[in-house]
Amino acid sequence: MVKEVRWRYVIFHVHSPLSLASEDLRAALRRHMKAFLGTYGLSRNPFKLMDYDEENKLGILKCAHESLEVIRAALALLSAINGEPSAIHVMKVSGTYKKAKSRAARLAEKLKSYWTELEAGMKKPSQATEA
């Protein structure tokens, strides 16, 4: 039988100077998506935050296969979280949650070294010296 909805699991990276808790991110995403898509848009393009690794700032978001590009555009248009300039970058898209989790774990390792340098660069000089 053909599935009515094919789900996609979007692995994303939060680019923000803030250390966000899972609940903060969930609330920020809900607020942004509601503002961008509206009630009608959300009913057509449902999404759910499945997992968020606060240490590596990597998360997994579930959405319908047909909504993938809309969700990607909506995430790209997010420019601030809790008033701080931030961005969400989609790293990979997977068809199963299991595979998304294993890919996210591999990405976390890869990002650890590379991202530290980029994140240090985006901090204000005062923040950089404090760190």
Q: Where do contacts with other proteins occur on this chain (CB under 8 A)?
A: 15, 35-36, 69-70, 72-73, 75-77, 79-80, 85-87, 89-90, 114-115, 117-118, 121-122
In terms of CB distance, is 48 or 85 closer to other proteins?
85
In terms of CB distance, is 2 or 13 closer to other proteins?
13
In terms of CB distance, is 2 or 39 closer to other proteins?
39
Least distance (Å) from other proteins to the CB of residue 121? 4
Least distance (Å) from other proteins to the CB of residue 102? 21
Least distance (Å) from other proteins to the CB of residue 77? 6
Q: Treating both helix axes as pointing N-terminal to C-terminal, what angle do 22-44 and 68-76 enclose, rounded to 10 degrees?
A: 130
In terms of CB distance, is 5 or 118 closer to other proteins?
118
Distance CA(52)–CA(54), nearest Å, equals 6
Q: Which of 98, 97, 104, 5 is nearest to 45 (CA)?
A: 5
Least distance (Å) from other proteins to the CB of residue 8? 13
Contact between 65 and 40 (Cβ < 8 Å):
no
Q: Which residues pair with 61 in a beta bridge?
A: 10, 49
Contact between 46 and 26 (Cβ < 8 Å):
no
DSSP state of 17: S
In terms of CB distance, is 50 or 70 closer to other proteins?
70
SS3 state of residue 60: strand
Least distance (Å) from other proteins to the CB of residue 1? 29
